[in-house]
Structure 1
Amino acid sequence: MTVRWEELADGVYARRYPDWDLTVGLVVGDGACLVVDTRADAAQGAELANAVREVTPHPWTVVLTHDHFDHAFGVSAFLPCAVWAHENCRRELAARGKPELALPDRLLTDRAVLDIGGRRVELVHFGPAHSDNDVAVHVPDASLVFAGDLVEFAPPGSFSAESFGTDTTLTGWPGALGGLLALGAELIVPGHGAPVDREFLLAQQDILGRLITLDGELRAGKIDAAAAIAGSPVAEDVTRAALRLG
């Protein structure tokens, strides 16, 4: 994979890395820019910071889509600057007890609006889903949203086993995707993989709905693990992770 910036709309860029197929973002306004996620450690953050300088010399603000290490551990390379995240993201990062981790200092509960050099950028939390602190970054004038790990493009379809962690709220995820769809953006940039369209999100909702049904039947004793795996719309390893089958 060749690592490069792809301009998705005027002044809005995505950059994909071979590590975990991570996708980060950049929004450039008049005299300011916004960096969406910071990679997995200080060295990777520094690489990204240098890459941003290939595009723009403007002062940056950072936003974290959630607390997972591959998205949030590179913040120190961008300081000093404002770092936005959901309030639970700061809590989770602080709980790790690693002094080298820089914590966000601008916190939202449900929604915040930023002015990035004259461009309106909306930060929105739709409730617990992939994590309890997912933040979508909506750029209305580009009809685009950076969705973090609320959306994952994992060829040949959607979701990997890593999509579902101990902090995932399976039942909340379809509603979060509904919130993304309600923003009206035509292009959705996932936390991993290539940009997708609204139809992809609808397909993701369907998969999650089927997994939720299987999970309910499993917990009620109507089916066993083997039947849940056999009836799942996704691969066995993904099903095991989503339904916490071990």
Structure 2
Amino acid sequence: MQELKKLSERFYYLTPVEETDRPILGAVVGDNLTLLIDAGNSEAHVRLFLDELTRSGVPAPSLAVLTHWHWDHVFGASALNRTPVISTEATKTELQRLSSYSWEDEALDERVETGEEIRFCAEAIKKEFPAERSIRIHMPEITFNDELVLDLGGITCRLVHAGGNHASDHLIVHLAEEDILFAGDITAPNLYASSWHYTPDETKQLVKKLKPFASAWNVISHWKPLSKELFIEELELLEKTASLSARAGDEAELKNLLMDEYGKPLSEEESLAAQYFMNGKKL
């Protein structure tokens, strides 16, 4: 069951759904404008969010921003007919590529076989769109390359293209006055590959970019808002594992190096980080 939650005076979010890969959707409420963060994995998804916001007395969104091109963050944008959509120029390029695709079962299955699509995503699309699948890729009306600052009235939203392994077009949204960072999927590995992976250099660059933005609350799209302490822990795990992976010959050796660093058995998250970095090293 999805819930609308109020994280601060000016920030609301809709909780995620694992089965159909619905990520968190956010809304920043200014005195003059309301910004929607991500458009969801379907029109039904984003309409649910809009309905919940209306019930809570939040004004209709004036603008929307897409964190990156992946289907679960953009398929709902076609329902935002009166709301200009913002993205990086790189995201728009990816959406132009998606606009040529068929989303029927046969086409999805074929792309899974060729490695162009992820099996989990294909199955989630089928669950989110069990009957009619009239998916239309909406092109952003406003694009930028590096950074864009939006003054919503009483609060500013700093949109920063940060990149990373998960999606090179990924941006973050920093709400300085509320001490909130909408990080999206930015700390996740690259899923569109023969094996899920991180690469050391790109990870180190990303961590360097993200640390100054670490906030009281850091919203992770398919999980929950994390405290600053937990978010920094996640960034430091990625940074540490990236550095140690250069010394490791295989996954077992990297895990041993991490255990020596932490002085304890590895958690599931730490083990997965080791696996994904070694996958990247093999590639």
User: What TM-score does the superposition give when structure 1 sets the normalisation length?
Assistant: 0.80
**Higher helix proportion, which one?**
2
Q: Are the counterparts in 2 of residues 31 and 59 from structure 1 also a CA contact under 8 Å?
A: no
Secondary structure of the residue aligned to 2:186 is strand
- Structure 1 residue 66 and structure 2 residue 59: aligned? no
CA positional deviation for 1:118: 4.2
SS at 1:8 equivalent: strand
Distance in 1 between residues matched to 2:80 and 2:179, nearest whole Å:
27
SS in 2 for 1:124: strand
Partner of 2:6: 7
1:17–1:87 distance in 2 versus 1, CA, 3 Å: same
The equivalences for 1:1-246 within 5 A come to 2-19=1-18, 20=21, 22-55=23-56, 56-96=58-98, 97-98=100-101, 100-151=136-187, 163-166=189-192, 170-183=200-213, 185-217=215-247, 223-228=249-254, 234=269, 239-244=274-279
Counterpart of 1:22, as a letter, is: P
Deviates more, 1:17-26 or 1:71-80: 17-26
Counterpart AA for 2:92: R
How far residue 205 of structure 1 moved from its aligned partner, in angstroms, is 2.3
Alpha-carbon distance between aligned partners in 2 of 1:34 and 1:16, rounded to the nearest angstrom: 17
List gaps (5 residues or longer) in structure 2.
102-134, 259-265
1:238 positional shift: 5.3
How far off its partner does 1:60 sit? Answer: 2.4
Aligned to 1:155: none
- Deviation for aligned residue 1:113: 0.6
2:250 aligned partner, one-letter code: D
Specify whether residues 183 and 230 from structure 1 end up closer, same or farther in structure 2 by C-alpha distance, changes over 3 A only: closer
Structure 1 stretches of 5 or more lacking a match?
152-158
Distance in 1 between residues matched to 2:173 and 2:252, nearest whole Å: 39
Find the residue that maps to 1:79 and give its secondary structure: coil
Number of aligned residue pairs: give it. Answer: 231
Distance 1:35 1:83, change over 3 A: same
Using the TM superposition, give the Cα deviation of residue 89 of structure 1 relative to its aligned residue in structure 2, in angstroms.
0.9
- Secondary structure of 2:13's counterpart equals strand
**CA offset at residue 75 of structure 1?**
0.6
Q: CA deviation at 1:10?
A: 0.8
- Do the aligned partners of residues 215 and 28 (structure 1) sit closer, same or farther apart at CA in structure 2, a change above 3 Å counting? same
What is the identity, as a one-letter code, of the residue corresponding to 2:78? S
Task: Tell me the distance in 2 between the aligned counterparts of 1:166 and 1:217.
Answer: 26
Q: CA deviation at 1:230?
A: 5.7
Counterpart CA distance in 2 for 1:238 and 1:176 is 15
How far apart are residue 129 of structure 1 and its match? 3.9
* Percent identical: 24
Distance 1:229 1:183 in 2: 29
Q: Does the C-alpha gap of structure 1 residues 53 and 242 become closer, same or farther in structure 2, counting only changes over 3 Å?
A: farther
Structure 1 pair 50–81 and aligned structure 2 pair: CA distance change class (3 A) = same
Greater per-residue strand proportion = 1
